[in-house]
Amino acid sequence: MAKYDSKSIRNIAIVGHGGTGKTSIAESMLFVAGKTDRLGRVDDGTSTMDWEPEEQKRRISISASAAFVDWDKHRINILDTPGDANFAMDTRSCLRVADSALVVIDAVGGVEFQTEKVWEAADEYTLPRLIFINKMDRERADFAKAVESIRKTIGKKATPLYIPMGAEDKFKGIIDLMQMKALSFDEARGKVKAGDIPAEMADEARRYREAMTEDIAECDEALMDKYLESGELTAEELKTGLRKGVVSGSLFPVVCGIAGRNIGIAPLLDLIVAAAPSPLDRGDVRGKNPATGAEESRSPDEKAPFSAFVFKTISDPFAGRLTLFRVYSGTASSDGTFFNPTRKTTERFGNIFHLDGKNQRPSEGVIPGDIAAVSKLKETFTGDTMTDEKSPIQYEKVQPMPAIISFAVQPKSKGDEEKIMSGLNRLVEEDPTLNFKRDEQTREIILSGMGQVHIEIAVEKMKRKFGVDVTLTTPKVPYKETIKGKTTVQGRYKKQSGGRGQFGDTWLEIEPLPRGGGFEFVDKIVGGAIPRNFIPAVEKGIVEAMQEGVLAGYPVVDVRVSLFDGSFHTVDSSEMAFKIAGSMGFKKGVEQCNPTLLEPIVNIDIEIPDEYMGDVIGDLNSRRGRVIGMEPKGHNQIIKGQVPLAEILRYAPDLRSITSGRGTFTYAHSHYEEVPPMIAEKVIAAARKEKEEKG
């Protein structure tokens, strides 16, 4: 089993807006702790955490990765998460299994939109948080302004424990307010050298220390009483109060530095060990008995029944499937077995590993709090629970975020359609926010995700991993056709070509149904005008004719057809003849019933900051949308509206542009409405042209 215990484990997810330096912090942690021989970088392919080719090509994290360091007799499990909204699901999954979060803030940009989003997610999981203000050497870096941005936007109790000595090109180290020492750094290894605080910063350091001491004292009633009496706390009292404040979530300590130069990383590791919670501090984890549905809990105890939660799956065509999990109770080792209550199946552990990016470190066994991986499981996926079969529990999975953009996927090589479906299935195993379907009406394979970059990277992965090259196109809108008028029409089919002929004669009454009424067939035949055995054939002919309307070839809906009369021939009539007669009558009748085009309308919820309200509503109106209502959500507003699907097929990048990346939206199908005549003419013309080109 492990050489450490659960009390000495720290599980921390590194989160924040894209470009703040989260991966650089993880790389520097590995280097400063002696895990790597050099500081890994994304831009030159030496990164431990961003190892996928798609990440190195774009120089952004697109997938969460795990690593660990041993520091001061503690095991720190690091979860490096993406900062791009396209990959927010991976970040949420990591927050689900972490015991604390390290929120990274850019010293110039302050709190940015995605930082607000991950802060909200951390609130949902009641996670303690530490804050690292990074890139203090950037032009216009401003520590005080960044702290004010944090306090104003997300964390009122953001409390600096370290302050910078200088900024931009004059940055030369940090001041430790707990020890009241100036810290300089050997950038080659990130080692710390302590000295006296420069005289010109003594007053500023004193002011910050007083504020820090007061914030820490407020986390504990006894400390507050002593502080009010004496005006000071001992180093040990500060340390105890700090840990209590962090674990309870009543205080968010702020540190600063430059991850790319290993400055501030050693003090950050010290802080994680000293103040971040262990699995024991987080306490029991609640789940449900899979058999009864009753709520149960598991304590982080090695003697408790085994339970773990799968938070990520990596599919590889050569290495097979790698399953990442967090242990909540009990122990497990390679070759043991577990029960998966989600799939109601039992599986055997293969080799269990601890991960350093893509590198696998064999594990003797796992204990509560461990984050590990196992290879080649057949039926266990992201969101599943692993548990002891005799004492099962099931943990709640992270619900996938709804897709906001879709593309039609077309193979570049003929005969690759089956390979596409197989490749997409494997990608969805890795990433639950991807989903795909075959649209029965348009006959397209539709791939949906969180944004254009998300879809493009999925396609790149599919080509690299599974050898399938595809083209992405805008999906066809599933228009439909209907009628606004009523008619009576004859559908008559007669064919004589020697021998037995074909004869079917029908009289149909065609009329519209209310929107959403679908199709209704009414049999009004009396007196045997048409034999009973031919009537189902008439309905079948009408149903088949409805698949291709008279305007643009779209399916016909919301129609009632009544068969009220007809005639037959005792020799020449057949089911086929009446099927054709019904089809002919329906097509002819629809042309007489003022046919019209329908388009899908979606309900849309758009979340934006107040300052973009006018621009977003104006843009929505230009898309033929209508605002139904608005409601506040924190610092933002949610615009609720309805808009034609055809107008938002490329809404994600447009909204991002209008709101400087701070707007998000979700949508769901609502109903169909008539297309305005001017637009209908263009849609019909385009559909007819496409049909002519196909021959």
Q: How far apart are CA 265 and CA 274, in angstroms?
A: 14
Q: Rounded to two decimals, what is the model's pTM?
A: 0.87
Q: Which residues neighbour 39 within 8 Å (Cβ) at sequence distance 6 or greater?
A: 27, 28, 31, 260, 262
Strand partners, 564: none
Element (H, E) at 682: helix 677-694
- Contact (CB, 8 A) for 326 and 368: no
- Type and span of the H or E element at 69: strand 65-71
H-helix segments, 557-612: 575-591
Orientation angle between helical segments 452-466 and 417-430, nearest 10 degrees: 110
High-pLDDT (> 90) share of the chain, % = 67
Helix (H) or strand (E) holding 511: strand 502-512
DSSP state of 438: E
Residue-wise pLDDT for 298-337, tens only, equals 999 999 999 999 999 987 766 678 999 999 999 999 889 9
Report the candidate in 170, 175, 186 with the shortest Cα–Cα distance to residue 262. 186
Q: In the 8-state DSSP scheme, what is residue 3?
A: S
Closest to 298 (Cα-Cα) out of 311, 310, 278, 282: 282
The confidence score (pLDDT) of residue 404 equals 86
Residue 289 pLDDT greater than 60, yes or no: yes
pLDDT in tens, 625-648: 999 999 998 778 999 999 999 999
CB 422 within 8 A of CB 429: no
SS3 539: helix
How far apart, in whole angstroms, are the C-alpha atoms of residue 639 and residue 632?
A: 9
Give the three-class secondary structure for 444.
Answer: coil
Q: Quick one: DSSP state of residue 366?
A: B
The pLDDT assigned to 419 comes to 84
Query: Which of 603, 667, 660, 606 is CA-nearest to residue 633?
Result: 606
DSSP string spanning 138-194? Answer: STT--HHHHHHHHHHHT-TTEEESEEESS-GGG---EEETTTTEEEEEETTTTEEEE
Three-state DSSP at 267 gives: helix
d(Cα 128, Cα 150) in Å, to the nearest integer? 15
pLDDT: is 257 or 233 the higher one?
257
The answer to whether the CB of 263 falls within 8 A of the CB of 189 is no
CA atoms in the 13 A half-sphere facing the CB of 644: 18
Phi, psi of 57 (to 5 degrees): -65, -45
- Mean confidence (pLDDT) of the chain: 91
Query: What pLDDT score was predicted for residue 418?
Result: 81
Q: What domains sit in the chain, N to C, each tagged with a CATH number?
A: 6-197+249-282 (3.40.50.300), 285-387 (2.40.30.10), 405-473 (3.30.70.870), 481-593 (3.30.230.10), 597-679 (3.30.70.240)
The DSSP symbol for 556 reads B
User: HSE on the CB side for 310, CA within 13 Å?
Assistant: 30
Residue 378's contacts (CB-CB under 8 Å, 6 or more residues apart) are 321, 347
CA atoms of 291 and 311, how far apart (whole Å): 23
CA geometry: angle 328, 333, 336, nearest 5 deg: 100
Structure tokens belonging to residue 535: 């009537």
What is the tens place of the pLDDT at every residue in 20-57? 999 999 999 999 999 888 888 877 778 888 777 777 77
What's residue 358's pLDDT? 82
Cα-based distances in Å from 30 to 45, 80, 271, 279, 550 = 16, 12, 16, 22, 66
Q: Give the pLDDT confidence of 482-494 residue by residue, as tens digits.
A: 999 999 999 999 9
DSSP3 helix / strand / coil % (the chain, rounded to 5): 30, 30, 35
Average pLDDT over residues 557-586: 94
> Residue 695's pLDDT is what?
62
- ∠256-259-260 over CA atoms, to 5°? 140
Q: What type of residue is 171?
A: F
Burial of 181 (0-12, 13-18, 19+ CB in 10 A): middle
Here the tokens at position 403 are: 């897709």
- Rounded Cα distance between 330 and 342, Å, is 19
Span 332-382, pLDDT tens digits = 998 899 999 999 999 999 889 999 888 889 998 999 999 999 988 989 999
662-682, pLDDT tens digit by residue?
888 989 999 999 999 999 999
User: 138 or 43: whose pLDDT is higher?
Assistant: 138
For 70-97, letters b (16+ CB in 10 Å) and e give ebeebbbbbbbbbbbbbbbbbbbbbbbb
